[in-house]
Amino acid sequence: MARRSAPSAQPPYLPHQPHSQRALNDPNESAFSRFLRTEVYAPEKIAGNISVASAVGLFVGGIIAVRTWGDLMVPA
């Protein structure tokens, strides 16, 4: 059941603040810098980007470990 509050109470979350159209459509911004701003550095996507970066790091670390110490994994 939903919790009820006073009609003048503020919501318990921060409402979404829309971006200004000037920031989204800057004619002097390149496509690459727009991609970085909207997909990599966007605050709402930081958690997903950290998850992807840690998965890639673990994958590369596993490959390096197997290539370095792989002969120790094979029985003699």
Rounded Cα distance between 70 and 64, Å, is 9
Q: Are 34 and 25 in contact (CB under 8 A)?
A: no
Residue 41: give the domain boundaries: 29-73
Q: Across all residues in the chain, what is the average pLDDT?
A: 82
Please write the tens of the pLDDT for every residue from 12-47: 666 666 655 445 678 888 999 999 999 999 999 999
Q: How confident is the model at residue 3 (pLDDT cuts 50, 70, 90)?
A: low
Task: Tell whether 41 is covered by a domain.
Answer: yes
Predicted TM-score (pTM) of this structure: 0.57
Task: Tell whether 15 is covered by a domain.
Answer: no
For residue 46, the model assigns a pLDDT of 93
According to DSSP, residue 37 is labeled: I
What total of structural domains would you count in the chain? 1
Rounded Cα distance between 58 and 76, Å, is 28
- Is residue 5's pLDDT more than 80? no
